[in-house]
Amino acid sequence: MLYREAGDFKTSYRDDGQTFPIRLDRWGYYAILAVAFLVVPLVIDSYWANAVLVPFLIYAIAAIGLNILTGYAGQVSLGTGGFMAVGAYAVYKLMTAFPGVPIVLLIVVAGVITAIVGVLFGLPSLRIKGFYLAVATLAAQFFLVWLFNKVPWFYNYSASGQINAPERTMFGWAITGPATTAPAKYLTCLIFAVVLAWVARNLTRGTVGRKWMAIRDMDIAAEIIGVNPLTAKLSAFAVSSFFIGIAGALLFSVYLGAAEASEAFGINKSFLVLFMIIIGGLGSIFGSFAGAAFLVLLPVLLKNVLVAQLGWPTDLAAHIELMIVGALIIFFLIVEPHGLARLWQLTKEKLRLWPFPH
Say how far apart CA 2 and CA 129 lie, in whole Å: 43
Smallest distance from the beta carbon of 58 to another protein, in angstroms? 10
Smallest distance from the beta carbon of 334 to another protein, in angstroms? 19
Smallest distance from the beta carbon of 111 to another protein, in angstroms? 21
Q: Which is nearer to another protein, 219 or 336 (CB)?
A: 336
Q: Which is nearer to another protein, 176 or 204 (CB)?
A: 176
Q: Which is nearer to another protein, 90 or 133 (CB)?
A: 90
Smallest distance from the beta carbon of 322 to another protein, in angstroms? 8
CA dihedral 337, 341, 346, 347 (to 10 degrees): 120
How far is C-alpha 133 from the geometric centre of its chain's CA atoms?
A: 21
Smallest distance from the beta carbon of 130 to another protein, in angstroms? 27
Report CA-CA distances (Å) from 220 to 47, 155, 233: 50, 44, 13
Say how far apart CA 153 and CA 214 lie, in whole Å: 42
Q: Which is nearer to another protein, 260 or 336 (CB)?
A: 260
Q: Which is nearer to another protein, 313 or 357 (CB)?
A: 313
Smallest distance from the beta carbon of 256 to another protein, in angstroms? 6
What sign does the CA torsion over 246, 249, 253, 255 have? positive
Q: Which is nearer to another protein, 132 or 271 (CB)?
A: 271
Q: Which of 273, 235, 236, 293 is nearest to 85 (CA)?
A: 273
List of residues contacting another protein (CB under 8 A): 28, 32, 46-48, 50-52, 55, 96, 149, 158-162, 164, 166-167, 177-179, 255-260, 262-264, 290, 293-294, 297, 300-301, 303-305, 307-309, 313-315, 317-319, 340, 344
Smallest distance from the beta carbon of 220 to another protein, in angstroms? 39
Q: Which is nearer to another protein, 227 or 264 (CB)?
A: 264
Q: Which is nearer to another protein, 99 or 337 (CB)?
A: 99
Smallest distance from the beta carbon of 173 to another protein, in angstroms? 15
Say how far apart CA 17 and CA 199 lie, in whole Å: 16
